[in-house]
């Protein structure tokens, strides 16, 4: 047994679970949304509220500074924020509610509560920042490591000690800045992760607008969750070369594969359409815009595809960085090679025909593009990378990430978008044509084979369609 067979040996999803999933999804979509109204107030009001909270809360929680805060260098690129407990008396960590009184232009709350507080764009789905609160245990204090730091500065947030850490450009999570504020009187620290699209001054205003209020009501709205950011690591991680070498078969003898031509009808049981009663036929076109796609479907469901287009209406080149990961402490992520890659839209039509005598219902299908280099006796997996980036790298950072991957960015069965990748009802003799679209780097076009399995990057199938261009 080898890796090729591994997926086949794993249990398949039972039909009753498939049915449940579809029914539950349907029920959830039909469910009415609860409207959440957020208040927007100015910064002056926010500061005043903070003052009141401090005064009223101070008699309980803040007689003097309970904690000292320092920042210590760790390695070349990390800073450790050390919070020490200076309190003489036992303290109680209160339950707090959160209110964000500053919401910048075009910004909105996205969520308050488990496990984090998030701000994002008012329209669209962009995230601007995530906020975590973590209590400072008595006696132990708190140590937090901020990795991949280029530089930092101390700030004052409404009388609370804070720091802004300016992060390396290639932070894995897209975090550009991290703001840490110690709320001494409440024995809490805040970590605000600010993403690429957010201005740091705006982020500081958000931090200044945060109002924390102690409460005894555990059912109160917007209770602060005590949780450290999930990625937080206190120990430098050792990297290993062991997985730089591929664990996957990178070549396969020609006789082990069956290759079909475009428009050549064939029957396969290697697809997710697991029946020998469906005949498939594949046709492919390549273009540099979205004109082959159904405009109504794109407008309704895939409007983000328009972001791929330049002013001339053509798909613009992809910027590609080959990044070596650092540990964030002694090394940072580094782009060792960058390039602009021309990409094309590969439009695939697959005709599914029921050649049996029975109605076929609810058969799921999926597909991907597999890149192979045809040699004399074998096919090799084609990555298209070796000549361009001779050094080892960990990941490719690109705005158009699909060009080196096989997953589709558009599919439509030509009937009802909600039927998705299901053959819902295919009568004997009936055909249904499904459309797929992929973004592929121009120089990868001569290596394309269509694979009726999704998300594959090794030889998981034995049957492919030659769609080389």
Which span sits near another protein by CB under 8 A: 93-101, 274-282, 287-295, 416-424? 416-424
Nearer to another protein, 46 or 175 (CB): 175
Asked if 253 is part of the footprint of another protein (rule: CB under 8 A), the reply reads: no
Asked if 196 is part of the footprint of another protein (rule: CB under 8 A), the reply reads: no
For the chain, what is the radius of gyration of the CA atoms? 28
Asked if 111 is part of the footprint of another protein (rule: CB under 8 A), the reply reads: yes
* Pairwise CA distance, residues 118 & 57, whole Å: 26
Asked if 251 is part of the footprint of another protein (rule: CB under 8 A), the reply reads: no
Which span sits near another protein by CB under 8 A: 4-12, 64-72, 181-189, 434-442? 4-12
Asked if 264 is part of the footprint of another protein (rule: CB under 8 A), the reply reads: no
User: How many C-beta atoms lie closer than 10 Å to residue 14's C-beta?
Assistant: 9
In angstroms, give the least distance from the CB of 407 to another protein: 10
In angstroms, give the least distance from the CB of 362 to another protein: 11
Pairing of strands 266-267, 410-412: unpaired
Helix axes 43-61, 200-208, angle to 10 degrees: 50
In angstroms, give the least distance from the CB of 52 to another protein: 30
In this structure, are residues 81 and 69 in contact, taking their beta carbons and an 8 Å threshold?
A: yes
Strands (E), 268-317: 278-287
Q: DSSP string spanning 402-441?
A: GGGS---SEEE-SS-GGGTTEEEEE-TT-EEEEEEEEEEE
Establish how many alpha carbons lie within 13 A of residue 155's alpha carbon, considering only the half-sphere containing its beta carbon.
20
Nearer to another protein, 237 or 285 (CB): 237
Asked if 6 is part of the footprint of another protein (rule: CB under 8 A), the reply reads: yes
* Pairwise CA distance, residues 338 & 399, whole Å: 12
| Contact pick of 123, 153, 216, 243 for another protein (by CB under 8 A) | 243
| Contact pick of 184, 366, 379, 398 for another protein (by CB under 8 A) | 366
Asked if 200 is part of the footprint of another protein (rule: CB under 8 A), the reply reads: no
Helices (H), ranges, 271-407? 295-301
Which span sits near another protein by CB under 8 A: 28-36, 175-183, 423-431, 434-442? 28-36
**Torsion angle of the four alpha carbons 17, 20, 21, 23, in this order, in degrees rounded to the nearest 10:** 160
The CA distances from residue 416 to 21, 178, 360, 437, in Å, are 19, 45, 17, 17
* Pairwise CA distance, residues 305 & 299, whole Å: 9
In angstroms, give the least distance from the CB of 199 to another protein: 18
Nearer to another protein, 139 or 230 (CB): 230
In this structure, are residues 113 and 103 in contact, taking their beta carbons and an 8 Å threshold?
A: no
Asked if 239 is part of the footprint of another protein (rule: CB under 8 A), the reply reads: yes
Total interface residues for another protein by CB under 8 A: 60
Asked if 122 is part of the footprint of another protein (rule: CB under 8 A), the reply reads: no
Q: DSSP string spanning 38-79?
A: PP---HHHHHHHHHHHHHHHHHHH-SS--EEEEEEEETTTEE
In angstroms, give the least distance from the CB of 374 to another protein: 23
Asked if 418 is part of the footprint of another protein (rule: CB under 8 A), the reply reads: yes
| Contact pick of 247, 311, 376, 386 for another protein (by CB under 8 A) | 247
Asked if 166 is part of the footprint of another protein (rule: CB under 8 A), the reply reads: no
Asked if 20 is part of the footprint of another protein (rule: CB under 8 A), the reply reads: yes
Q: Is 423 exposed, middle or buried (0-12, 13-18, 19+ CB in 10 A)?
A: buried
Positions touching another protein (CB under 8 A) are 1-3, 5-7, 9-14, 16-18, 20-22, 24-26, 28-29, 31, 110-111, 116, 118, 120, 125-127, 130, 172, 230-231, 233, 237-240, 242-243, 247, 272, 301, 304, 325, 364, 366, 394-395, 401, 418, 420-422, 455-457
């Amino acid at each position: 047994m080898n890796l090729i067979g591994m997926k086949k040996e794993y249990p398949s999803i039972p039909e009753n679970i498939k049915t449940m999933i579809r029914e539950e999804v349907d029920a959830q979509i039909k469910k009415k949304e609860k409207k959440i109204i957020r208040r927007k107030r100015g910064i002056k009001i926010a500061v005043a509220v903070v003052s009141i909270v401090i005064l009223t809360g101070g008699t309980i929680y803040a007689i003097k500074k309970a904690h000292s805060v320092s920042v210590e260098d760790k390695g070349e690129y990390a800073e450790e924020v050390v919070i020490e407990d200076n309190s003489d008396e036992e303290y109680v960590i209160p339950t707090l509610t959160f209110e964000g009184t500053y919401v910048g232009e075009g910004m909105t709350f996205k969520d308050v509560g488990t496990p984090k507080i998030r701000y994002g764009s008012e329209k669209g789905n962009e995230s601007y920042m995530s906020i975590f609160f973590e209590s400072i245990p008595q006696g132990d204090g708190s140590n937090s490591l901020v990795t991949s730091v280029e530089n930092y500065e101390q700030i004052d947030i409404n009388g609370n000690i804070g720091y802004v850490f300016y992060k390396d450009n290639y932070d894995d999570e897209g975090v550009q800045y991290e703001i840490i504020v110690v709320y001494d009187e409440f024995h809490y620290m805040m970590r605000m992760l600010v993403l690429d699209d957010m201005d740091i001054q705006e982020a500081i205003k958000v931090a200044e607008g945060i109002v924390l209020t102690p409460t005894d009501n555990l059912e109160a709205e917007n209770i602060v969750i005590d949780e450290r950011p999930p990625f937080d690591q206190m120990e430098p991680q050792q990297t290993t070369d062991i997985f730089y070498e591929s664990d996957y078969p990178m070549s396969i003898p020609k006789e082990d594969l069956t290759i079909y031509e475009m428009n050549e009808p064939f029957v396969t049981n290697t697809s997710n359409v697991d029946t020998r009663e469906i005949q498939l036929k594949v046709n492919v076109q390549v273009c540099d815009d979205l004109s082959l796609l159904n405009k109504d479907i794109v407008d309704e469901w895939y409007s983000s595809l328009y972001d791929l287009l330049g002013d001339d209406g053509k798909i613009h080149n992809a910027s590609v960085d080959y990044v070596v990961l650092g540990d964030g402490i002694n090394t940072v992520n580094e782009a060792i090679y960058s390039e602009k890659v021309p990409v094309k839209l590969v439009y695939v039509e697959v005709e599914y025909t029921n050649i049996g005598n029975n109605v076929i219902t609810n058969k799921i299908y999926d597909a991907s593009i597999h890149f192979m280099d045809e040699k004399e006796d074998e096919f090799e997996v084609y990555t298209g990378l070796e000549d361009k980036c001779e050094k080892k790298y960990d990941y490719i950072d690109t705005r158009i990430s699909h060009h080196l991957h096989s997953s589709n960015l558009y599919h439509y069965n030509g009937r009802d978008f909600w039927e998705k990748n299901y053959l819902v009802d295919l009568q004997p003799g009936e055909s249904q044509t499904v459309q797929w679209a992929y973004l592929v780097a121009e120089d990868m076009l001569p290596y394309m084979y269509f694979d009726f399995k999704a998300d594959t990057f090794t030889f998981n199938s034995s049957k492919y369609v030659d769609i080389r261009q």
